[in-house]
Amino acid sequence: MVTIRTFKMEELDEIIKIYIENFKDKTDNIEYTTNKFKKDVKRFTKLNIPGDILVAIEKDEIVGFASFILKGHWYFGPIAVNEKWRNRKIGEKLMEESLNYIKKAGGGLIRLTVQKRNETAIKLYEKFRFKISSYIMELEI
């Protein structure tokens, strides 16, 4: 049975492992994004910025996480589930608990970014009524 709870700072390295596993093929510079994510978590915690990281626990193991912060509006993400624990509705449970947290904190607009090719994540977000509101266009020259 999966349990969802707030993470502890000493679990950050476990969360980073799941982050790398999930995003190494979806970003051009996983080392940069990993270091940025780690620094952001420490900075937001130190500054007491509203938000949290929730972890999914199964058999005393962190099997997934979801993060969200309030910076003018709520920013959701990243969310990730360990590959061997996928297809067990863990992402849905993390999303549901994250949205409950945000509602209890007063709600408001929630934004997230997702890679266009990440169809699994897009389906999850659409299931929770997220809608596409803009596109980011890129040009490398």
Per-residue pLDDT tens digits for 55-73: 999 999 999 999 999 999 9
How many structural domains are present in the chain? 1
% of the chain at pLDDT higher than 90: 62
141 lies in some domain: no
CATH number at residue 117: 3.40.630.30
Range of the domain at 109: 3-127
β-pairing, 73-81 vs 51-58, is unpaired
Is 134 a member of any domain?
no
Q: How far apart are CA 141 and CA 129, in angstroms?
A: 36
- H or E element in which residue 141 lies: none
In a domain? residue 28:
yes
Q: Given this model, what pLDDT does residue 4 score?
A: 98
Q: Is the predicted pLDDT of residue 7 greater than 80, yes or no?
A: yes
**Is there a domain that residue 22 lies in?**
yes
Per residue in 127-136, pLDDT (tens digit) is 999 999 988 8
Q: Is residue 35 part of a domain?
A: yes
pTM: predicted TM-score of the whole model, two decimal places:
0.88
**Smallest Cα–Cα separation from 65: which of 141, 4, 118?**
4
Q: What share of the chain is helix, strand, coil (3-state, %, to 5)?
A: 40, 25, 35
Q: How does the average pLDDT of the chain come out, rounded?
A: 90
